[in-house]
Amino acid sequence: MWGLGVSVSAAANGLMLARLQGGEALAMLVCLFVFVTVAIIFGHNHQQKRMAEAQQHLKQARAEASLGNSREALEAARRAVAAFPNSKKSSPQEVEARAYCVVLEGRLADESRATKSAVPTPEPASQQSKPAPLTPGLRLGEYVLEEPIGEGGFGQVWKAHHAAFGTAAAVKIPNQPRHRDSLRRLGKIQFQLDNPHIVKVLGAELDGDTPYVALEYVAGQDLRRLLETETRLPCGRALGLFQQVLLGMQAAHQAGIVHCDLKPENILVSPDDQVKVTDFELGRARLEAERPLLLSGGLASQVGFGTAAYMAPEQLGGEPVDHRTDIYALGVILFEMLTGERPHPGDKPSELQPDVPAELDEVFARCFARVEKRFNSVEEMLASLSEV
């Protein structure tokens, strides 16, 4: 408002001076100039007010989501999207708000379908009996549970051993019957991939009271925990780990598989820095990927909020995905490994960390970009990294 008052005062003084000098045309020009200035100042203040309002709604959406209030979180996220100023380029906060809307709409739709189908449709006989509680020593098929090593919205992961041979395994067990399809997809897709940088599927039982998929056990931790411990990785170590991720994804893409959910939580790092990619539940075969992912309901019902930061714009928008969707996520992961932060539009790794070579800025830029400007393949990305 101070700028508005100054502008009006300047207009009055300029108009009086112009008239005293006998210049009516000059007076009109002064008025026009000042009024345009006022409009610009007013528009800028209005944009700032809308941005602050949108961020407040987004903050409320995060808070409601953390409490499990999906409907209230969705309403707040929608208010945030509506409040963001209209512009050609969306801010990271607006992208996040739109991702919240997509995920929450899918979650509420799933909950609604589950509620409607629960009463009239009886479950198959194999699902009617109550599964045994998960405890150490419980035998599931060929595997004996030892201890839980992970948990999330999908279910639990237990360390186990083969009952006859004693070999270690990671057994993934869904916490809801509706997650059986995800488990089936994980087993079917990941079983096809035989590569030292992809976690192997050892076995599965999907029709019993307690369905599971047994996976190769990787001692160590996932990349997310590693980054939480060390914040960021030295450039040499980061590139050594990242190139192994690329080799795994190269094999997946050559087999016609798009991961669709690459993030640090799905990258396992052993104590000697051997890397394996896992969790292909959202993976799509090449022909499947030609269909929109979000509109099919697959992604909206299965991803969590943390995933949105690694999702390419076409994935967030429900457009068809392909291998370049994974390349976008790989760029975000590389940036996070090098800097300890998630990227925003215009960021360069070398500007945040002095030990990062400027050549990596170009590698990152060709991932964190519109789909047509990204690397055409993981092979191209590996070739660029070899020149750093």
Distance CA 44, CA 39 (A): 9
Q: How many residues does the chain have?
A: 388
Collect all residues with Cβ–Cβ distance below 8 Å to 36 and sequence separation of at least 6: none
94: helix, strand or coil: helix
Give alpha helix (H) positions in the chain: 2-20, 24-66, 70-83, 92-118, 125-128, 180-191, 223-230, 235-254, 286-289, 313-316, 323-339, 349-352, 359-365, 378-386
Residue with tokens 């943390």: 306
Amino acid letter, 3: G
Question: Which residue among 181, 209, 222, 261 is the active-site one?
Answer: 261
Cβ neighbours, 10 Å, residue 218: 18
- d(CA 24, CA 324) in angstroms, rounded, equals 62
Establish whether 261 is a catalytic residue: yes
Tell me the C-alpha to C-alpha distance, in Å, between residue 210 and each of 116, 126, 136, 169, 248: 24, 9, 15, 17, 30
Q: Which residues are catalytic?
A: 261
